[in-house]
Amino acid sequence: MTGIENIATPGMWAGFVAFVLVMLALDLFVFGGNKAHKVSVREAATWSGVWVTLALLFNAGLWWHLKGTVGPEIADQKALEFLSGYLIEKALSVDNVFVFLLIFAAFQVPPQYQRRVLIYGVLGAIVMRAVMILAGAWVVKEFSWVLYLFGAFLLYTGIRMLMMSEQEPDVTKNPVLRFARRHLRVADDEHGEKFTVRKNGLLYVTPLFLVLVLIEVTDLVFAVDSIPAIFAITTDPFIVFTSNLFAILGLRALYFLLADIADRFHMLKYGLAMVLAFIGSKMLIMPWYHIPVQASLAIVAVLIGASVVASLLLPPKTEK
Can you tell me the distance from the alpha carbon of 75 to that of 3, in angstroms, rounded to the nearest whole number?
9
Q: What are phi and psi of 109, to 5 degrees?
A: -80, 120
pLDDT at 318: 55
Low pLDDT (below 50) residues in the chain? 1-4, 319-320
Taking the CA atoms of 199, 200, 201 and 202 in sequence, report the sign of the dihedral they define.
negative
Domain boundaries, the chain: 38-313
Can you tell me the distance from the alpha carbon of 254 to that of 97, in angstroms, rounded to the nearest whole number?
8
pLDDT at 125: 85
| Secondary structure letter of residue 319 according to DSSP | G
pLDDT at 319: 46
Q: What are phi and psi of 145, to 5 degrees?
A: -65, -15
Query: Contact 277/158 with Cβ under 8 angstroms?
Result: yes
pTM of the model: 0.81
Quick one: 318 exposed, middle or buried, by C-beta within 10 A (0-12, 13-18, 19+)? exposed
281, HSE (Cβ side, Cα atoms, 13 Å): 12
Query: Contact 275/303 with Cβ under 8 angstroms?
Result: yes
CA distances to 48, 113, 128, 160 from 166, rounded to whole Å, are: 28, 29, 29, 11
pLDDT at 285: 87
pLDDT at 3: 38
